[in-house]
A and B are shown apart, each in its own frame.
Chain A
Amino acid sequence: MLRLILARVVTSIIALVGASIFAFVILRVTPGDPTRLILGAFAPQESVDRLREELGLNLPLADQYLIYVRDFLAGDWGFSYSTGEPVATQLASRFPATLELGLYAFLFAFVGAVVLALLAAYRRGPISDGATRALSFFGLGVPPFWFGLVLMIVFFEHLHWLPGPDGRLGPGVAPPPAVTRLYTIDALLAGQFATFADAAAHLVLPVITLGLFPLSFLLRLLRANLLDVSREPFITVARSRGLSRWAAFVRHALPNAFLPTLTAAGLLLGQLLAGSVLVEKVFNWPGVGALVTDGILRQDFSVVQAFILISAFIYVLANLLVDILAGFIDPRVRHAGMRR
């Protein structure tokens, strides 16, 4: 077991090194002059020259790479050339908004997938089956930014049920005292229920939009696994012992179907990261994704570069943790090499 973990950690580190090399090559080396990328096409030559010195662009490539990595690991992610702020500070200030959105989207996707998959697999009827498959196909095929827009057109512009693209809180609503920086939790902690309601209302559409793809993805996976597992002999055995069909499903089929689904949780995080870039701007959500989108718009790529490398880091780490966790949970893997 330990050997497996070690092997996975090593592979992950190698993958990250490889990814950093790739990012370095693509983002720093290949564009004709990376300073243009940062300063824009019309900067004066002295600024360009100064920047080249600053960035160490006149050093040999290998040295440049090492500096690149060292800086990244130390948290020095450069400066945003349009605002002058360090990228790290910008990202940190925007992070809670994305975290709150991502957290709820994850819960939405996860709980939704489990409930729907259970219902569909348990009932086995053509209607529930068809509906689940239709939902999955839709969720996997709809561009999230477009879907968010449509939701707003319907629920905000026409029905006036939910708030529109004004970010996390309505105009005139002050954020609650900062504890976790997640407005919903902070508002509850401070007893500000009106603020909580407002924050929650503003979360509804973005959460559905961001969470739809992961939900559909998980739903497909879980449903297929459940159907496979429900055909296994031990389910019938459980029923012969006196469990109801539902109990046999929930207590025996579900845990077994879960294991292969668990390893997909890492992929889910990647989908949420990418999704935040696509979705936040639509709702004017003041998170990391919107920061990246703005950066691209303004040709200010320092933020974008940092985000790309950070995403890889988080993605690899998440997948590694999930794999190790799955190994612990599955008793067959836990005991590998310990046969009696």
Chain B
Amino acid sequence: MTVPAPSPRAGDAAPVLSVRGLDVVFDRRVAAVSDVSFDLRRGEKLAVVGESGSGKSTLALAVLGLIDPPGRVAGGAIMLNGRDIGRLDDRALRSIRSREISLIFQDAMGALDPVKSIGAQLVDTLRRHRPGVGRGEARRRAIQLLREVEVPAPEQRIDDYPHQYSGGMLQRVMIAIALANDPDVVIADEPTTALDVTTQAQVLALLDRIVAERGVSVVLITHNLGIVSRFCDTVAVMYAGRIVEHGRVDAVFAAPLHPYTEALLASVPRADWPRDRPLPAIPGFPPDLAALPPGCSFEPRCPLGHGLDICRKVVPEARRFGTGAGSASAECHFAGERAARRAAAEVPA
């Protein structure tokens, strides 16, 4: 069980979202998410990073209760605003989705019904969760939302269809839909991956502003470490369905405890990288989630633990190191050693 990183903000007592020991299994063989635990505080922006296939998207869907057979949530608790929503049936979950927690999808073009207008989809979201609201009122709110996400000329564009919008605009619409009912938590699954760099920056800035204004908590799923460092407060690194490291962004990025995190950071291409040196990459391939090794799942590719008995046989427990805001938790047999060595190497201020 992970011991969650302490909140970056003093004063906020209970976390908005609290996940403990979540397991998601597909077809009874594939362990897509294993023993995942983390807390999300009010206003916190948590990044979930990892390679393709690490379980990030599955985690997002699991929190919203959208895992369909042949997949199922095999264990763990999901507490939203103090309630265990993991136990609720679809009916009860429906009133929670969009109202307390919502999801922003990666493929904005595919995420909207091509035969319904943007306005229709927005209005539907609004009226579904506010029974008394009439169509006129809902339409006004929808235009308001579009304006908030910086869609130009919202009164005209509200009746357009998805194929008449550009990718960046569609992503804004997705954000509008996600925010329509004032949720407490928004999970954004790779919201900028399909966009060009300029649009990416714009959308992120928008997200930033909205989060500040509305005070929502965000879980940002991404594999782009640059976005993480600029936008998020905390980061959880996922590998093979587990969270292998979790802590404040600056702490983790400055002094990564888990070898995978370290390798990830090292593999980010830099503009000043010497031409003749090969780009750093993590050797090997992500593991087959249907056939995970008995020990640490990163062991086959780990520069530290490859071939070591303890790494091959024993799954490392998550332990927290460091204190206060600079602390982080990691699942590695050698994390403690590395943390201690680093602390010793630092000259006391």
Say what secondary structure dominates the interface of chain A. helix
Q: What per-residue 1/0 map shows which CB atoms of A234-258 lie under 8 Å from chain B? A: 1011111111110000001001100
* Residue from A245, A259, A339 in contact with B115 in the complex, judged by beta carbons closer than 8 Å: A259
Contacts of B163 in A (CB 8 A): 331-332, 335
Is B193 at the interface (CB under 8 A from chain A)?
no
Indicate whether A242 sits within 8 Å of B94 (C-beta atoms), given known contacts A335-B164, A339-B164, A340-B164.
Answer: yes
Indicate whether A241 sits within 8 Å of B102 (C-beta atoms), given known contacts A234-B113, A332-B161, A339-B164.
Answer: yes
CA of A245 to CA of B163, assembled, Å: 25
Contacts of B64 in A (CB 8 A): 240
Contact B110 A233 (CB under 8 A): yes
Contact B113 A256 (CB under 8 A): yes
Size category of the A interface is: 20 to 34
Q: State the Cβ distance, B265 to closest chain A Cβ, in Å.
A: 31
Is B99 at the interface (CB under 8 A from chain A)?
yes
Q: What per-residue 1/0 map shows which CB atoms of B51-78 lie under 8 Å from chain A? A: 0000000000100101001000000000
Within 8 A of B (CB), among A306-340: 329-332, 335, 339-340
Q: State the Cβ distance, B171 to closest chain A Cβ, in Å.
A: 13
Is A54 at the interface (CB under 8 A from chain B)?
no
Indicate whether A240 sits within 8 Å of B164 (C-beta atoms), given known contacts A234-B111, A256-B113.
Answer: no
Size category of the B interface is: 20 to 34
Is B228 at the interface (CB under 8 A from chain A)?
no
Within 8 A of B (CB), among A214-272: 232-234, 236-245, 252, 255-256, 259
Is B82 at the interface (CB under 8 A from chain A)?
no
Contact A239 B107 (CB under 8 A): no
Q: State the Cβ distance, B12 to closest chain A Cβ, in Å.
A: 26
The interface centre, meaning the residue of B94, B105, B113, B129 with most chain A CB atoms within 10 A of its CB, is B113
Contacts of B177 in A (CB 8 A): 237, 241
Is B90 at the interface (CB under 8 A from chain A)?
yes
- Subset of 30 A-B contacts with CB under 8 Å: A124-B69, A233-B105, A234-B110, A234-B111, A236-B61, A237-B111, A237-B177, A238-B113, A240-B66, A240-B98, A240-B105, A241-B98, A241-B124, A241-B177, A242-B96, A244-B91, A244-B94, A252-B116, A255-B113, A255-B115, A255-B116, A331-B114, A331-B117, A331-B163, A332-B161, A335-B161, A335-B163, A335-B164, A339-B164, A340-B160
Known: A240-B66, A241-B128. 11 other contacts (CB 8 A): A233-B111, A241-B124, A241-B177, A242-B94, A242-B98, A242-B125, A243-B94, A244-B94, A252-B116, A255-B116, A335-B163
Closest 10 CB pairs of A and B: A233-B110, A240-B103, A242-B98, A331-B161, A242-B97, A237-B111, A233-B111, A241-B98, A241-B125, A242-B94
